[in-house]
Structure 1
């Protein structure tokens, strides 16, 4: 048969580099998968075309060629019985002709070892009984990600949890008090609060009128909130010459293209107060400020000539006692769990456990999704109530995606790799586990628009465990609905509001804003950049009621204000705000002191989980426990 294989290769114009070794492996492939010589050469032809290889067959490509053969066989098995769900490890064992269980793994009566789960390595291959979450790739292939030594090392913690050395190995987690095993005895409820574009709606056809109305409404709402606070009078026209100090509200604009500069900076007021005209803004008298294009602010200053407003004060906040969203339409609520809408408060969990990760989920040297497989293996052991996964899932910036060397459609990769892994996870974990997916504009298989609709996925019998949110998205976990039967209970005793946005707004804000500090100096600004960005995001994004306060949008951002402008608005401060970014990972409690007498402090946990995969190695994710308030919450940033 080796001669037949060789003749078939030569017939199709291929030359063999290491002939003896290649023919031996091809013969093994034919025997294992019941292929003929023409079948194996035909598969190689497809493989070489997808990867733009030369006509010489090299032995170095045999391992990845085996992966393609396994994927083809797996899809053939699934297509034979469409209604049959196969665990990924079962498919791999069928293809590799392995027994159902390893010989050294004999199931018997469990032994009482409270921490025995920590003695095993976090290896997501070769585990019995459906606990393997693999994509059917060959376990013999060793990748840089698989060779890393330090796995699941705690990088930083929140709220007094002791720090650990970065070199801590997963075997040492047996006595680690930082990462605590959570047993979710009760399933949390979910209620989606976000508006989103309708599925299949036409986008990127927004009109100038839509953009104008969106920006005008932002300025008007901000002015209304400042006047309602009682601290400021009705805004005046800043373009009119006046010898007296005036108060105006408008949007920061840049006269020239490119990054905002101190000169020239313009203030665009509303149509109501100035006909939408712009005036030059002079900030020389201010010792401290922080502004960016699209920011809506209040300005106190003089305009003696009518051509330049000399600012003496910038009001970049809205008093917390005032609802700046009083004119917003009510958020569209979607009940994900009808059976949990009417729930006795005493039946709700007293805390919420989460694992939060952001894509990409595969290293740059392959598409085997090893980081995601190990994250799910970790989650199976920690058993969080919520697993929040933020895109990109099929990263359009992945080298193999950009080169077009994949042999399946993007939808097939998402369905067969990502969703199958998640389906295995929730079936293994049981009904208490829940997964929330949030798309990204970098997802190659999804709509390239912002705001972005949710994934259109409907797993059979799992629609109450795998939920997709729009981007940006907001939802409530463990919300208790009041009823006269429970009127004696405090029905708002425990609920968590979570906001998510996968667009890298933190990085975009840091690149667009300009600031001046009273202490001055570049060193001071760089040392406080992390905290500065958080406060900047908090004071502008949340209090300005927008997940995306920048305008014009950063390059590459497909902002469309015609399909669902209300999807960008935040109705109230969330308890947990998740903003994945390429900037340094963090988990931090943000607080804004009341700017007027009698105002309370507003607190929020802001999370940047980092990226789960970074180059050919692992990245970071966050494990968080929320116990009623940000002050009592605890979290760990973990390197995978």
Structure 2
């Protein structure tokens, strides 16, 4: 019988015995866990050669995956050893790791879903995910809350409120000071320690320095880090390679090896802020006996007057989320994007379209080698800004609704290529007034809905060390829980790094892209005073929508997957009815997870 971990990771049914058996064979051949095999499969599908449809999970395609992994294994023996690769990225003595406690179980796509564990008893909203396999543009791939109706857009522009100060994003990149980085990383630990102390009502005298040998159990708050500052960002960590880094106030900034042998259920990753109870008996390691979850922020609330002041027209609001790249990998052509805009105007008619970059991808092969040519233009653009103004902007100007643009660090038309990232220059790029340019990340309101957006692929970059119950949850559930608990859009530190390694031993790896964190300004990537109603983080991995801690988590996927059509998300939000909302004193919880239908659609 197939293992439960394989069935959960790949959303297989017990009768899919051939596929599950093939998966277990691959796990045994390559020494992979079910989750590692799932990530390898998703990556292989994403990088597969051009096709009208993404590869389906069957025995034949798993055979192709085996051949791909075997070739990859052979090539890796010819490449520069990972330990010898010098990473072109500044590192500091401080490194973060983040704990996560996702409260949502893995949801089968063909069975009813429940929201957060605290709402397991509610059966009023039969959440259901129902994937389809059609390759037709606009066809539904997966649905959440399918019992809710899909209605046309109201035609009434929603009220937009930005919950950020754009002036704070005007900082200079390439100007990161080591002392400022250390101060921020220090303050991050101390502020979380204060939140833990206030939430659990601990006695402050219980807190101590985990680096000092003692026979007494203490409480400590710190950051999970690898055992060596030179550990590569894509290295495989394990329970024996984790250290705890303290702040200057909590432990003089020293690090201590962790002994996790007494813990049965945990999930830790570099950059995670954790609260441990334990003791250092020998001075060589800190034995953890108990973990305390970082307290969650509260949910957004509104008054009755505020909720009744918003106009919804047909009784709902339709919002589209889509993320770049918007062109095939082989050529910089925007025909797919033009067709998408026409479909939005003529068929879907959304109230708002939120578009994430990159629009002109700096890593695109034609951008990199300078072979751009647009047959439809008599005069070829002289700069990459001209490409946006003369090719992309005319397409976006045709959108008839409210449009919100969020950049990517891979956008060639932004001068700000670090995360957190300043917004596009709307006037310079020739965009109309119905297009709003927001920074990355950004928190904003559409009517009463609080939406948090971040265009940095945390689902791909976060690699955790897990054991026990967290391993039974899907990777996407677990990482979503980490982001929500850590109160940060990108809690990994150091950030993910993508490199192109040379086959020649004497040549260093070349930096292609990555998280590109400007650490001293990472406070701009933290949540405000509450959790968002909707958390949108695009990823190169499989598109999905989930409910974690009563937050609707959406990954629209990429608009183009290599040279084939990708996906986008359509969210239909029901207008609030006071008698259907939950009260918190004199205010009302938005309960978006119960009144929002999410359809992942083919582009």
TM-score, length of structure 2 as denominator length: 0.65
Q: Do 2:148 and 2:595's aligned partners in 1 also have CA atoms closer than 8 Å?
A: no
Which of 544, 550, 554 is matched with 1:586 structurally? 544
Which of 344, 369, 379 is matched with 1:403 structurally? 369
Kindly indicate whether residue 426 of structure 2 is the aligned counterpart of residue 451 of structure 1: no
- How far the C-alpha of 1:541 sits from its partner, in A, is 2.3
Kindly indicate whether residue 567 of structure 2 is the aligned counterpart of residue 614 of structure 1: no
Q: Distance in 2 between matches of 1:552 and 1:172?
A: 38
Which of 535, 544, 554 is matched with 2:478 structurally? 535
Q: Do 1:453 and 1:471's aligned partners in 2 also have CA atoms closer than 8 Å?
A: yes
Give the aligned partner of residue 392 of structure 1.
358
- How far the C-alpha of 1:343 sits from its partner, in A, is 10
Q: 453-462 vs 629-638, which deviates more?
A: 453-462
Q: Do 2:139 and 2:602's aligned partners in 1 also have CA atoms closer than 8 Å?
A: no
Give the aligned partner of residue 438 of structure 1.
406
Q: Tell me: CA distance 1:171–1:567, structure 2 relative to 1, closer, same or farther (3 Å).
A: closer
Q: Tell me: CA distance 1:582–1:172, structure 2 relative to 1, closer, same or farther (3 Å).
A: closer
Give the aligned partner of residue 167 of structure 1.
134
Q: Distance in 2 between matches of 1:172 and 1:283?
A: 47
Give the aligned partner of residue 569 of structure 1.
526
Q: Distance in 1 between matches of 2:310 and 2:403?
A: 24
**Residue segments in structure 1 that go unaligned for 5+ positions in a row:** 1-143, 324-340, 427-432, 479-494, 520-524, 592-602
Give the aligned partner of residue 339 of structure 2.
374
Kindly indicate whether residue 393 of structure 2 is the aligned counterpart of residue 419 of structure 1: yes
Which of 458, 465, 470 is matched with 2:439 structurally? 470
Give the aligned partner of residue 241 of structure 1.
213
SS of aligned partner of 1:570: coil
Q: Do 1:473 and 1:501's aligned partners in 2 also have CA atoms closer than 8 Å?
A: yes
- How far the C-alpha of 1:504 sits from its partner, in A, is 0.5
Kindly indicate whether residue 458 of structure 2 is the aligned counterpart of residue 505 of structure 1: yes
- How far the C-alpha of 1:354 sits from its partner, in A, is 0.7
Which of 349, 356, 361 is matched with 2:321 structurally? 356
- How far the C-alpha of 1:560 sits from its partner, in A, is 1.1
Q: Tell me: CA distance 1:283–1:550, structure 2 relative to 1, closer, same or farther (3 Å).
A: same
SS of aligned partner of 1:183: coil
Which of 259, 263, 272 is matched with 2:240 structurally? 263
Q: Distance in 2 between matches of 1:205 and 1:573?
A: 31
Q: How many residues align?
A: 428
SS of aligned partner of 2:519: coil
**Residue segments in structure 2 that go unaligned for 5+ positions in a row:** 1-48, 55-108, 114-125, 141-145, 374-380, 498-513, 577-591
Q: Tell me: CA distance 1:416–1:199, structure 2 relative to 1, closer, same or farther (3 Å).
A: farther
SS of aligned partner of 1:205: coil
Q: Distance in 1 between matches of 2:356 and 2:189?
A: 31
Q: Distance in 2 between matches of 1:268 and 1:573?
A: 27
Kindly indicate whether residue 531 of structure 2 is the aligned counterpart of residue 551 of structure 1: no
Q: Distance in 2 between matches of 1:172 and 1:543?
A: 34
Q: Do 1:361 and 1:370's aligned partners in 2 also have CA atoms closer than 8 Å?
A: no
Give the aligned partner of residue 210 of structure 1.
180
Q: Tell me: CA distance 1:462–1:318, structure 2 relative to 1, closer, same or farther (3 Å).
A: same
Q: Tell me: CA distance 1:261–1:185, structure 2 relative to 1, closer, same or farther (3 Å).
A: same
- How far the C-alpha of 1:501 sits from its partner, in A, is 0.9
Q: Do 1:197 and 1:451's aligned partners in 2 also have CA atoms closer than 8 Å?
A: no
Q: Distance in 2 between matches of 1:265 and 1:442?
A: 31
Pairwise mapping of residues 129-148 of structure 1 onto structure 2 (< 5 A)? 148=52
Q: Tell me: CA distance 1:219–1:455, structure 2 relative to 1, closer, same or farther (3 Å).
A: same
Q: Do 1:504 and 1:579's aligned partners in 2 also have CA atoms closer than 8 Å?
A: yes
Q: 198-207 vs 628-637, which deviates more?
A: 198-207
Q: Distance in 2 between matches of 1:302 and 1:406?
A: 62
SS of aligned partner of 2:478: helix
Q: Distance in 1 between matches of 2:129 and 2:201?
A: 44
Give the aligned partner of residue 449 of structure 2.
496
Q: Do 1:254 and 1:261's aligned partners in 2 also have CA atoms closer than 8 Å?
A: no
Q: Deviations over 1:568-627 (max 9, x none)?
A: 111121011111111111011112xxxxxxxxxxx1110111111112210111111122
Give the aligned partner of residue 37 of structure 1.
none
Q: Deviations over 1:295-322 (max 9, x none)?
A: 0000111211222110111224215569
Q: Do 2:151 and 2:316's aligned partners in 1 also have CA atoms closer than 8 Å?
A: no
Give the aligned partner of residue 222 of structure 2.
250
Q: 378-387 vs 189-198, which deviates more?
A: 189-198
Q: Do 2:154 and 2:316's aligned partners in 1 also have CA atoms closer than 8 Å?
A: no
Q: Distance in 2 between matches of 1:307 and 1:420?
A: 63
Q: Distance in 2 between matches of 1:162 and 1:506?
A: 20
SS of aligned partner of 1:588: strand
Q: Tell me: CA distance 1:376–1:293, structure 2 relative to 1, closer, same or farther (3 Å).
A: same
Q: Tell me: CA distance 1:420–1:307, structure 2 relative to 1, closer, same or farther (3 Å).
A: same
Which of 157, 176, 180 is matched with 2:150 structurally? 180
Q: Distance in 1 between matches of 2:251 and 2:429?
A: 56
Q: 159-168 vs 217-226, which deviates more?
A: 159-168
Q: Do 1:450 and 1:560's aligned partners in 2 also have CA atoms closer than 8 Å?
A: yes
Give the aligned partner of residue 32 of structure 2.
none
Q: Do 2:355 and 2:406's aligned partners in 1 also have CA atoms closer than 8 Å?
A: yes
Kindly indicate whether residue 601 of structure 2 is the aligned counterpart of residue 638 of structure 1: yes
Q: Do 2:393 and 2:430's aligned partners in 1 also have CA atoms closer than 8 Å?
A: no
Q: Deviations over 1:514-540 (max 9, x none)?
A: 111259xxxxx4xx56x34333332x3
Pairwise mapping of residues 193-204 of structure 1 onto structure 2 (< 5 A)? 193-196=163-166, 201-204=171-174
Q: Distance in 1 between matches of 2:371 and 2:274?
A: 49
- How far the C-alpha of 1:342 sits from its partner, in A, is 10
- How far the C-alpha of 1:200 sits from its partner, in A, is 6.1
Q: 570-579 vs 260-269, which deviates more?
A: 260-269
Q: Distance in 2 between matches of 1:238 and 1:193?
A: 38
Q: Distance in 1 between matches of 2:331 and 2:353?
A: 24
Kindly indicate whether residue 516 of structure 2 is the aligned counterpart of residue 516 of structure 1: no
Q: Distance in 1 between matches of 2:593 and 2:202?
A: 32
Q: Which has the higher contact order (CA 8 A, sep 6+)?
A: 2
- Which is higher, the Rg of structure 1 or of structure 2? 1
Give the aligned partner of residue 306 of structure 1.
283
